[in-house]
Structure 1
Amino acid sequence: MENSHTEFKEFWKDDYLKVIAAFANSNGGDLFIGISDDGRVVGIGNYKKFLEDIPNKVVQLLGITVDVELIKQNGKDILKIAVTPSSVPISFHGKYFIRSGSTVQELHGHELRDYILKKDNITWDEITIPQAQLEELDEKLIRRFITKAVNENRLYAEALNDDIQLTLGNLDLIKENGQLTRAAVLLFSKRPKKHIRTATVKIGRFGLTDTELISQDIIEGSVLEMPDKIIGILRTKYLHSPITYEGIERKERLEYPEKAVREAVLNAIVHRDYTEQTDITIRVYNDKIVFWNSGTLIAPLSIELLKQKHPSKRRNALIANIFFRIGFIEAWGRGILLITEEMKNAGMPEPIIEEYAGGFQITFLKANLQSMEKSVEKSVGKTVGKTVGKTVGKLLVFINENSKITREKMAEKTGLSIRGVEYNLNKLKKEGLIKRIGSAKGGHWEVIEGD
C-alpha cells in the first residue's frame, strides 16, 4: 500500500526522479519499480541497465546518492530505490518537491521559502538587510529594552554598560559582518517600514456589519513599542471600561480582560508572517473583538493542541526572544491557555480560535447578559442591599451598555413597570452610583466615579 514513505511504479521514467527528490526533501522513503499502483507485482525487464542508469541519473540530476536493489517476488524482478532524507533542499529541473501523504507536491512561493529556511535551520527574522544601517536604530529604545531586560533578570547586568552593537550582536540581532537582521529593524528601527512594508497594525470599530466602518487607526513603528500603543488606543478609543463597585470601592475594568487582550496582541505580533502583504487587524464590534494575523500554525501545532500543554513553536525566533527577555511573553507555549483562563475568570465565553484566510484568528465574545448581571449584582450587593441586587444589576448593565437608554426600554428589558424602574433608579441615585445628565429626552445616564 502506498503511503508517505512508499510509492509503486510499473516501469521507470526519468520523470520519477521528482519522486526521489520528494522523498529526499521529506522523511525519506522507498520507490518500487515493477509494482502497479494497486500493489500488483508486474515485474521489470532489462533490470541490469536500470541498476546502473538510475544511480547515475540521481547523482547527476539531483546531487544525492540512493541504494538501488534488485528484489525477486513471485518469480518477477522488481527494483527497490531506497532514499534517505537530505539535510539540504533537493531540486529537480529547478523545482522543489515534497511528500504529502502518498502524493508528490511541488512547493511554490511562501511554502518554498519556509521549507528552505527550515532546511537551513534559520527563521525569517534572522535574515539580514544589507542596506539597513546601525544609525537607523533608536538608541534610546535599545537602552530602555536593556534596562528592562536586566531588571527582569533575563539579560546579563554587564549589558547596561556594554556598547550597544556588542549587546545586539550577543542577541544575534547584528551579524559578525555588521549587517542588521530583519528582527533588529522591526524591533528597534525608527522607521521599520523603510525596509519591511508589513510592519503595521490596523484597528477598526465596526457597526452591525463588516461594511459599516465607524473609525480606524493605523499603528506603525517599532514592534517592541506596539503592544503598549495598541492597548492604549483600545482603552481610550475602542473599548469601554464599565465602572462597578465592591462595597464602596470603585472598580474600572476593560470590557474584556486586559491580560487576555494583551496576550492576543503579543501573539499576533510575535507569530505573524511578515512576508505576507497584509496587516495585523483588530476588529472591534459591539459584541466581540477579533484579532487576526497572517501565518497559519506551525507543524505539529493544531487548534486542539493549543488548548492544552504544548511546545512553543516560533516563526520569528529573534523577535520572540526579545519579547521574552523584556518580560512580554514566556517561553512555555502558554499564551492561549492564559487567554482562555482570563476569559473564564471574567465570566466570558471561551474564545473562538481558528485558522482563517491563511492566518490565525482569535475572537473574544462579550459575556452574556446573565453572567454580567451576576457580576454587577455581586459588586453592588453590599451597597444597595441584597433584596434589590438582581434588578439593580440589570439596570447597571443596561446603563453601562447604553448611557442614553430610556426608562421605557429598561422596563421592556426587565419586565418591570415604569414605576418599578424609577424606584430602582432612585435607589441607585440615592446611593450615589448614578446620576442623570440633561433633560429626560435629550440627556443621558452617567455612572458616578468614586474617589
Structure 2
Amino acid sequence: MPESQNIEYKESWRDEYIKWICGFANAQGGKIFVGVDDKGHVIGLQNAKKLMEDIPNKVRDALGLLVDVNLLSVDSKEYIEISISPSTYPVNYKGEYHYRTGSTKQLLQGASLTQFLLNKTGTKWDAVPVDGVSFRDLDKESFDIFRREAKKSGRMTAQDLSMTDEELLDSLNLVVDGKLTRAAVLLFHRKPEKWFGGAYVKIGFFGDGPDLQYQDEIYGSLFIQADRVVELIYLKYFKARISYDGLIRVERYPIPKDAMREAVYNALMHSNYSSGVPIQIRIHENEVLISNDCIFPANWTVETLMQRHRSEQYNPKIANAFFRAGYVEAWGRGIENMCKLCKDYGVKTEYTVHPGDVMLAFFAKQETAATQSATQSTTQSTTQSTQKYLPIEIKLMHYLVANPRATQGQIAKYLGMNLNTTKYYLNKLGKLEVPAIKHEGTTRKGSWMVLIDLENL
C-alpha cells in the first residue's frame, strides 16, 4: 500500500518524526509505520520493544497527545504502528503548527496558519468582528444595490427587504455581539480597503503584447465592485464583432457575459482579503486572466474544482449575501455552468491552482484572416453608414425626445441599468465627434436635446 493522506512509512525512528504526528493530529489523523520502507516493504526494527515505551512518552511530553503504539511482525521482522486520532484543538510542536495534506507534511505559516486556527475553533475568517467601525459608517448605495438585486432574484421577501439596515445585517448573520463582522465591512463599507488593503479590483489591458496599455482600479464595497466590474470590462475593454441577422444588429463579445460575471463574482466571494493583494484581471486580445489570492479546502485540486463538488466557502458569510442577492448558486454548480457556457460559445477555460492563489484563464476563439477581413469590412461600412449607434443608445435617445426633462435616475430606471452605466452612455452620446445629445441647464432642472434625426436610423 503506497503512502497516502493517512499513511506514512519510516525505516527507523527519529524524534523529529513527532512533527509528522503533529501533522496527522491537526488533519484527519492517520498511521505511521516505523520499520517499513517507502514502498511499503517491512524491513524490521532492532529496538522495537524499547520504542514501544519511548514513543508514547515523547509524544505526550512534546504534543500533549496520547497515541496508540502497536507492535507488529511479518516473517519474524518486528515493526511499529503509531495510530494518531484527529485532534479537536490545534496541536503545535515547539511552537510550530504542522499539517498533513496528501502524502506530505506542511509547516503552516501566514494566512494558512490563521485560517487553520480559525477552522479549529469553529470560526471562519469573514465572521471575525472588526473594531472601529459602526452601522452609520456603512454605504447607502451598497444597501440599495443589495435590495435591488435580492428583490429581482426573489431570494428575500418584501418584508425582509423593508427592514432597517441594521436589522438586515443581523438577518444575514453579519453582526456578532453588536459588532460588524469582516464580511459586513467588505460587503457594505464604501472603503473596505481601509481595513483590508487588497479589497479592490485591478483591470489592465495588454493587447497582443506584454506591455500594459491602460488600466483601471475599482474600489468600493463588494456589492459596488460586483455591480461595476463586469459592465466596465464590456464597455471599455472588450471589442464586439458586429454582424447582422437581417436588419438586426448582432454584437458578439469574446467571452460570454454570464460566464465573465460568474468568474468575477467567484473571485470577489472567495478571495483571501487578509493577503493584501487585489483581484487582478489581465485582458489580452484573445485571452483573459483572472487571479485572486485564496485558501482552498484541504486536499482540493484543480480536478476537484472542475468536477461537481460540495459548496465549501472560505468566506461563507460573504457567499451567503451574494446568494441572497441572486449573484450565485448555493450548490457549487457555478463553475460547472460557467464552463458549459464557454464551451457552447467556443471559449476554452483553464484553472491553475497554486498554494496561495488561483487563476482562471479564458481563451477566446481566434478569428481567421478571412473572418477578420470580413469583420473589418462590416465595421467600416457600418461606421460610414448612418447606423452608428447601439440599440440601447437609440432607445435612450427616443426616451429623451419624449421626456426631455428626465433625470439620470429616471433614465436609468427606464433602461433597466445602474446609474453609472447610464451616465456612461449619456457622456458617450454627448461627446461624439458629431454629438448626438446635449444637456442644457442644471443637473436637476435642465433638459435634454437630441441633435440627430432619429427617423433615419
Tell me the TM-score range normalised by the shorter chain. Answer: 0.7 to 0.9
The letter of the residue matching 1:41 is G
**1:254 offset after TM fit, Å?**
3.6
CA-based RMSD of the aligned residues comes to 3.4
Q: What does residue 397 of structure 1 align with?
A: 375
Note closer, same or farther for the CA distance 1:264–1:161 as it changes in structure 2 (3 Å cut). Answer: closer
Note closer, same or farther for the CA distance 1:256–1:312 as it changes in structure 2 (3 Å cut). Answer: same
The superposition leaves residues 320-352 of structure 1 with CA deviations (integer Å, 9 ceiling, x where unpaired) of 111111011111223233333333443x33223
Note closer, same or farther for the CA distance 1:351–1:99 as it changes in structure 2 (3 Å cut). Answer: closer
**1:222 offset after TM fit, Å?**
0.6
Note closer, same or farther for the CA distance 1:337–1:247 as it changes in structure 2 (3 Å cut). Answer: same
Contact 2:138 2:188 in 1 (8 A): yes
**1:433 offset after TM fit, Å?**
6.7
Contact 1:33 1:44 in 2 (8 A): no
CA distance in 1, matches of 2:320, 2:369: 38
**Residue aligned with 1:251, SS:** strand
The letter of the residue matching 2:290 is F
Note closer, same or farther for the CA distance 1:249–1:302 as it changes in structure 2 (3 Å cut). Answer: same
Contact 2:42 2:79 in 1 (8 A): no
Contact 1:294 1:359 in 2 (8 A): yes
Q: What does residue 278 of structure 1 align with?
A: 277
**1:299 offset after TM fit, Å?**
4.6
| TM-score normalised to structure 1 length | 0.75
Q: What does residue 414 of structure 1 align with?
A: none
Structure 1: 5+ residue stretches without partners: 374-393, 404-424, 436-442, 444-448
CA distance in 1, matches of 2:70, 2:159: 61
CA distance in 2, matches of 1:76, 1:233: 69
The letter of the residue matching 1:135 is R
**Residue aligned with 2:273, SS:** coil
**1:191 offset after TM fit, Å?**
1.3
1:332 aligns with 2:331: yes
Note closer, same or farther for the CA distance 1:271–1:395 as it changes in structure 2 (3 Å cut). Answer: same
1:83 aligns with 2:117: no
**Residue aligned with 1:95, SS:** coil
Alignment of 1:382-421 (within 5 A): 395-399=373-377, 403=380
Q: What does residue 202 of structure 1 align with?
A: 202
**1:316 offset after TM fit, Å?**
1.5
Note closer, same or farther for the CA distance 1:316–1:51 as it changes in structure 2 (3 Å cut). Answer: same
CA distance in 1, matches of 2:107, 2:286: 43
**Residue aligned with 2:362, SS:** strand
Note closer, same or farther for the CA distance 1:313–1:429 as it changes in structure 2 (3 Å cut). Answer: closer
Q: Which moved more, 1:250-259 or 1:1-10?
A: 1-10
Q: What does residue 380 of structure 1 align with?
A: none
Contact 1:280 1:293 in 2 (8 A): yes
CA distance in 1, matches of 2:326, 2:81: 54
| TM-score normalised to structure 2 length | 0.74
1:43 aligns with 2:43: no
Q: What does residue 219 of structure 1 align with?
A: 218
Contact 1:8 1:39 in 2 (8 A): no
Structure 2 residue corresponding to 1:366, chosen from 356, 364, 367: 364
**1:218 offset after TM fit, Å?**
0.7
CA distance in 2, matches of 1:289, 1:31: 45
**1:181 offset after TM fit, Å?**
1.3
CA distance in 1, matches of 2:124, 2:366: 42
Q: Between Structure 1 and Structure 2, how many residues are aligned?
A: 390
CA distance in 1, matches of 2:98, 2:354: 26
CA distance in 2, matches of 1:225, 1:429: 34
Q: What does residue 106 of structure 2 align with?
A: 105
Note closer, same or farther for the CA distance 1:219–1:336 as it changes in structure 2 (3 Å cut). Answer: same
Q: What does residue 233 of structure 2 align with?
A: 234
Q: Which moved more, 1:86-95 or 1:358-367?
A: 358-367
Q: What does residue 135 of structure 1 align with?
A: 136
The superposition leaves residues 27-58 of structure 1 with CA deviations (integer Å, 9 ceiling, x where unpaired) of 222334556666211232663xx555543443
CA distance in 2, matches of 1:315, 1:69: 38
Q: What does residue 125 of structure 1 align with?
A: 126
**1:173 offset after TM fit, Å?**
0.9
CA distance in 2, matches of 1:32, 1:223: 49
CA distance in 2, matches of 1:171, 1:326: 11
1:182 aligns with 2:160: no
**Residue aligned with 1:204, SS:** strand
**Residue aligned with 1:129, SS:** coil
CA distance in 1, matches of 2:146, 2:383: 48
CA distance in 2, matches of 1:174, 1:204: 36
**1:310 offset after TM fit, Å?**
3.0
CA distance in 2, matches of 1:127, 1:367: 44
Note closer, same or farther for the CA distance 1:179–1:434 as it changes in structure 2 (3 Å cut). Answer: closer
**1:267 offset after TM fit, Å?**
1.9
**Residue aligned with 1:130, SS:** coil
CA distance in 2, matches of 1:367, 1:77: 62
Q: What does residue 396 of structure 2 align with?
A: none
Contact 2:42 2:74 in 1 (8 A): no
Contact 1:303 1:353 in 2 (8 A): yes
Note closer, same or farther for the CA distance 1:44–1:150 as it changes in structure 2 (3 Å cut). Answer: same
Contact 1:3 1:102 in 2 (8 A): yes
**Residue aligned with 2:83, SS:** strand
The letter of the residue matching 1:181 is T
Contact 2:296 2:314 in 1 (8 A): no
CA distance in 1, matches of 2:306, 2:104: 31
Note closer, same or farther for the CA distance 1:13–1:154 as it changes in structure 2 (3 Å cut). Answer: same
Note closer, same or farther for the CA distance 1:355–1:398 as it changes in structure 2 (3 Å cut). Answer: farther
**1:297 offset after TM fit, Å?**
4.8
Note closer, same or farther for the CA distance 1:325–1:26 as it changes in structure 2 (3 Å cut). Answer: same
Note closer, same or farther for the CA distance 1:338–1:72 as it changes in structure 2 (3 Å cut). Answer: closer
The letter of the residue matching 1:39 is V
**1:103 offset after TM fit, Å?**
4.4
Q: What does residue 411 of structure 2 align with?
A: none
Contact 1:198 1:276 in 2 (8 A): yes
Q: What does residue 257 of structure 1 align with?
A: 256
Note closer, same or farther for the CA distance 1:134–1:66 as it changes in structure 2 (3 Å cut). Answer: same
CA distance in 2, matches of 1:351, 1:10: 44
Contact 1:242 1:253 in 2 (8 A): yes
**Residue aligned with 2:217, SS:** strand
Q: Which moved more, 1:111-120 or 1:312-321?
A: 111-120
Structure 2: 5+ residue stretches without partners: 390-432, 434-453
1:58 aligns with 2:59: yes
